[in-house]
């Protein structure tokens, strides 16, 4: 598969990182498939070069999602309840939908699974954390723990620092522990693309802006 054209299914296909990744994949001839809940987002995905699939991951069955993943080379989980949603949807989307997609990937026989998580998802939120944000971090942590327990998937969890819309620099710091920092969404998408190209499995990585070119950073953590 490596070096060949890929079919990549992205859950949460209208998200800001997802749209960037779809454009990168489409620009080089890969097939990007975006799973979205809202039919009004179809045109946006088509404009990004992605094939849209309308499917509500909060209500879909494993069988339904597995059908959408059939024939894929990789799954990227980029879904999230989004700003303005309450704690219950952090659980149903950021945790529940991630578990659902992992179940579906196993059923469809798609081993490669990239998860966009969050910095701090591996820790209990400190006292005084906004309750909804705390629910988000707990949901992400639970989804990460579920994915990490799966022997049937070649998973990589990426935990970016604070996301920005600044233009990407192409230089990052990527590793098991990077410390807090910011990172443009452009660079997160570039790292995901490199992780799709370079064989990687069973890694949990933190990601912030840094001084290392994206591909070099990814090759370094994979070889280590």
Which CATH number characterizes residue 184's domain? 3.40.50.720
Query: Does residue 168 fall inside a structural domain?
Result: yes
pLDDT digits (tens, 9 = 90+) for 98-120: 999 999 999 999 999 999 999 99
The whole-angstrom separation of Cα 151 and Cα 45 is: 32
Query: How many Cβ atoms are within 10 Å of 35's Cβ, its own excluded?
Result: 29
pLDDT digits (tens, 9 = 90+) for 193-219: 999 999 889 999 999 999 999 999 999
Residue 83: its pLDDT value, please? Answer: 75
pLDDT digits (tens, 9 = 90+) for 5-29: 999 999 999 999 999 999 999 999 9
Question: How many angstroms separate the first and last alpha carbons of the chain?
Answer: 22
The whole-angstrom separation of Cα 53 and Cα 68 is: 8
Residue 3: its pLDDT value, please? Answer: 56
Half-sphere exposure of 152 (CA within 13 A, CB side): 10
Query: Does residue 217 fall inside a structural domain?
Result: yes
Query: How many Cβ atoms are within 10 Å of 1's Cβ, its own excluded?
Result: 12
Q: Which residue in the block uniquely carries the two structure tokens 């054209």?
A: 5
Task: Tell me whether strands 212-213 and 7-11 are parallel, antiparallel or unpaired.
Answer: unpaired
The whole-angstrom separation of Cα 108 and Cα 139 is: 24
Query: Does residue 1 fall inside a structural domain?
Result: no
Q: Which residues are catalytic?
A: 136
Residue 103: its pLDDT value, please? Answer: 98
pLDDT digits (tens, 9 = 90+) for 31-79: 999 999 999 999 999 999 999 999 999 999 999 999 999 999 999 999 9
Count structural domains, the chain.
Answer: 1
Query: Does residue 2 fall inside a structural domain?
Result: no
Residue 123: its pLDDT value, please? Answer: 87
Query: Does residue 82 fall inside a structural domain?
Result: yes
Query: How many Cβ atoms are within 10 Å of 180's Cβ, its own excluded?
Result: 10
Share of the chain above pLDDT 90, in %: 87
By residue count, the chain amounts to: 224
Task: Give yes or no for residue 1 having a pLDDT over 50.
Answer: no
The boundaries of the domain holding residue 147 are 7-223
CA neighbor of 24 nearest in space, from 53, 48, 3, 51: 48
Query: Does residue 153 fall inside a structural domain?
Result: yes
């Amino acid at each position: 598969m490596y070096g060949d054209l890929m079919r990549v299914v992205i859950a949460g296909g209208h998200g800001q990182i997802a749209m960037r990744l779809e454009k990168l994949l489409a620009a080089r001839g890969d097939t990007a498939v975006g799973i979205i809940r809202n039919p009004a987002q179809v045109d946006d995905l088509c404009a990004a070069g992605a094939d849209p699939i309308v499917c509500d991951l909060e209500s879909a069955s494993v069988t339904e999602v597995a059908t959408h993943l059939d024939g894929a080379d990789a799954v990227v989980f980029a879904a999230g309840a989004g700003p303005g949603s309450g704690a219950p949807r952090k659980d149903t989307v950021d945790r529940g939908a991630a578990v659902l997609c992992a179940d579906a990937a196993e059923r469809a026989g798609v081993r490669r699974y990239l998860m966009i998580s969050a910095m701090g998802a591996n820790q209990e939120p400190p006292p005084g954390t906004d309750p909804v944000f705390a629910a988000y971090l707990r949901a992400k942590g639970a989804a990460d723990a579920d994915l990490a327990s799966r022997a049937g998937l070649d998973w990589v969890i990426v935990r970016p620092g604070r996301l920005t819309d600044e233009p990407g620099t192409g230089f990052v710091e990527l590793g098991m522990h990077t410390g807090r920092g910011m990172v443009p969404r452009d660079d997160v998408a570039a790292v995901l693309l490199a992780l799709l190209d370079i064989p990687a499995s069973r890694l949990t990585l933190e990601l912030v802006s840094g001084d290392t070119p994206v591909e070099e950073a990814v090759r370094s953590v994979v070889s280590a």
